Amino acid sequence: MYGIVYILLCNVSRNAIAFGSYVMTVAGQADAARGTVIGIAIAATSTAILLHICSRRAGIVINDDTFTVIKALLLVAIIVLDFVKAGGLRLGGARKSTQNFNPDTVVYTTYYDVGSYSDSLLYISNSY
């Protein structure tokens, strides 16, 4: 019983709040009010739940087909933009980023505390 409650309340709410925060950042309000972000999170979660309640097939199509296409397009966009950037095109006025391919400095950091290592491990585990 505890596992189901944890998944529903902790994991879903964390992702929904991140979604609301990203929506407000894209809308140009990086420092949006807490209530606005939570409202967007509740609306997004409620929409997904209502979609699954009203039509099982629509929920499957959204989860499987639509998100798969979006993820594949994002992956292709990341690859294409990496090649464009590595080719020397200045995106947004930034300088040419050939320094990123230097093996001596690509993973250089000045942080060696426990918090930085635990953050790195969490980033790695949450990316999957």
pLDDT, tens digit (0-9, with 9 covering 90-100), for 64-103: 788 889 889 999 998 998 888 777 777 766 666 566 666 6
Quick check: 6 pLDDT over 60? Answer: yes
More confidently predicted of 42 and 52:
42
* Domain layout of the chain by residue ranges: 1-54
Each residue of 16-36: pLDDT tens digit? Answer: 889 999 999 989 888 889 999
The single-letter code of the amino acid at 84 is V
Q: Using the Cα atoms of residue 48, residue 33, residue 25 and residue 99 in order, give the sign of their dihedral.
A: negative
Average pLDDT score over residue span 98-118: 71
| Contacts of residue 72, Cβ cutoff 8 Å, sequence gap at least 6 | none
